[in-house]
């Protein structure tokens, strides 16, 4: 449910908070997330600015909302000094109404995970560490410029179990240059041995402006053809299902009960606040993004101003977005929720001819309650979504 712009939200409105920590020790070849090279002085200024941003945001949005998830991404959040992180979490708890069993996730790079770090995480209230394992193949890791080894990944999960975390997740990438089905299978087998409750299974994308993009453009590196990527995705889905994981979103797989609550909020149109440079927010039916520049972020908050750029798009874009995001979910889009949220039927927003064809071909499953993709439909999600939304 959404409050209209300017109206007071009901007091049980749930809110997710995302923090973008903008530092890394190196730049991985494929990555286009906003980050700066780690600098301890800049980091101190970042935390000072974050304290101001959190205060300003709480003044505007805390009332009437309850925080149900906190997610720290980046960047490399495992580089954060525990005392500054603990102080920020304390501030959030003081300024916001925080649900007692809030999901609290943090992304980490395996090479920076130690027993001490995980123990500090637990004492702060983090209950869901995430590990950017990506692959267990040393050559592929090197090709991505990742700084960890397969051994680091094993050690990180070993420490996680030793520290008593029951809920944790890992990221795995497929579609890497030179990756074969056998290589992916070997990665999955090692992963299943570690039994993570949650797996994010992403296809490598070539992002403009990255080192990988120029290596691909000048022919130094070849990435798999689309057909190969599809075969790898299918293989991954089948292996994960055989291992007891359920796909609940196109790239997300979980043991029962371990779906990511925070990300479900994004896909289902719940409100969230993003803090830190480049972080996005969706609140009071309005999207906004912080500028992707640490210097502008620091400068703006130094003047006690939020570094946000407001997205002027309106209801039409919200509806398109709700369809695009909802189709990513295995449970699809609830017709009732769509009607309630936008005051019009889901059906009225779809291309009728394409809808009929896709239902008939078995790519779409449609009933009175929801619209969702079939297993085969998930393999063609981008094309299907485009067709359904075409005029």
Q: 137-157: buried (b, 16+ CB within 10 Å) or exposed (e) per residue?
A: beebbebbebbbebebbbbbb
Q: Which is nearer to ligand SF4, 75 or 332 (CB)?
A: 75
Q: CA-CA distance, 187 to 173, in Å (whole number)?
A: 10
CB of 279 to ligand SF4, least distance (A): 13
**Closer residue to ligand SF4 in complex, CB, 216/243:** 216
C-beta of 22 vs 265, nearer to ligand SF4: 22
CB of 31 to ligand SF4, least distance (A): 3
Strands 128-134 and 97-108: parallel
Nearest distance in Å: CB 75, ligand SF4: 5
Residue partners of 113: CB distance under 8 A and separation at least 6: 78, 129, 131, 152, 155, 156, 159, 160
Residue 33 or 192 with smaller CB distance to ligand SF4 = 33
The residue written with tokens 């130690």 in the block is 114
Contact 22, 76 (CB under 8 A): no
Give the up-direction half-sphere exposure of residue 51: CA atoms within 13 A in the CB hemisphere.
13
Q: Could you tell me which residues come within 8 angstroms of residue 338 by beta carbon, excluding any fewer than 6 positions away?
A: 322, 326, 345, 346
- Rounded CA-CA distance 66/96 in Å is 7
Instruction: Tell the smallest beta-carbon distance from residue 32 to ligand SF4 (Å).
Output: 8
Which of 27, 335 has the CB closer to ligand SF4?
A: 27
Q: Smallest distance from the beta carbon of 46 to ligand SF4, in angstroms?
A: 15
| Total residues belonging to the chain | 391
The smaller minimum CB distance to ligand SF4, of residues 176 and 270, is found at: 176
Q: How far is the CB of 38 from ligand SF4 (least distance, A)?
A: 10
Q: CB-wise, 31 or 365, nearer to ligand SF4?
A: 31
CA distances from 335 to 87, 267, 332, 365 (A): 43, 15, 9, 13
Could you list the residues that contact ligand SF4 (CB under 6 A)? 24, 27-28, 31, 33, 35, 74-76, 109
Q: To the nearest whole angstrom, how small is the minimum distance from the Cβ of residue 20 to ligand SF4?
A: 10
């Amino acid at each position: 449910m959404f409050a209209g712009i300017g109206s007071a939200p009901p007091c049980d409105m749930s809110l997710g908070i995302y923090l973008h920590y903008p530092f890394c020790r190196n730049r991985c070849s494929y990555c286009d997330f906003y980050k700066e090279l780690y600098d301890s002085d800049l980091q101190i200024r970042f935390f000072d600015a974050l304290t101001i941003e959190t205060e300003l945001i709480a003044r505007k949005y805390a009332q009437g909302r309850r925080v149900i998830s906190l997610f720290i991404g980046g960047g490399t959040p495992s580089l954060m000094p525990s005392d500054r992180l603990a102080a920020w979490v304390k501030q959030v708890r003081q300024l916001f109404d925080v649900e007692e069993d809030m999901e609290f996730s943090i992304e980490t790079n395996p090479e920076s995970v130690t027993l001490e770090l995980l123990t500090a995480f637990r004492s702060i209230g983090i209950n869901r560490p995430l590990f950017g394992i990506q692959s267990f193949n040393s050559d592929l890791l090197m090709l991505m410029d990742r700084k960890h080894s397969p051994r680091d990944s094993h050690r990180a999960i070993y420490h996680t179990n030793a520290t008593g975390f029951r809920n944790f997740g890992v990221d795995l990438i497929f579609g890497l240059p030179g990756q074969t089905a056998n290589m992916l299978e070997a990665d999955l087998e090692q992963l299943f041995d570690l039994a993570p409750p949650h797996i994010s299974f992403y296809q490598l994308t070539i992002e403009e402006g990255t080192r990988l993009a120029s290596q691909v453009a000048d022919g130094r590196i070849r990435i798999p053809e689309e057909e190969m990527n599809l075969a790898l995705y299918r293989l991954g889905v089948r292996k994960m299902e055989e291992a007891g994981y359920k796909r609940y979103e196109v790239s997300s797989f979980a043991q029962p009960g371990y779906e990511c609550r925070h990300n479900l909020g994004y896909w289902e149109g719940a409100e969230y606040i993003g803090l830190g440079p480049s972080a996005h927010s969706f609140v009071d039916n309005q999207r906004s993004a912080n500028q992707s520049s640490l210097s502008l972020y620091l400068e703006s908050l130094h003047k006690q101003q939020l570094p946000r750029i407001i997205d002027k798009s309106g209801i039409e874009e919200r509806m398109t977005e709700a369809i695009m995001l909802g189709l990513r979910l295995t449970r699809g889009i609830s017709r009732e929720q769509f009607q309630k949220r936008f005051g019009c039927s889901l059906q009225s927003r779809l291309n009728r001819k394409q809808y009929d064809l896709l239902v008939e071909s078995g790519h779409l499953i449609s009933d009175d309650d929801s619209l969702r993709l079939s297993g085969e439909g998930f393999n063609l999600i981008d094309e299907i979504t485009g067709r359904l939304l075409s005029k």
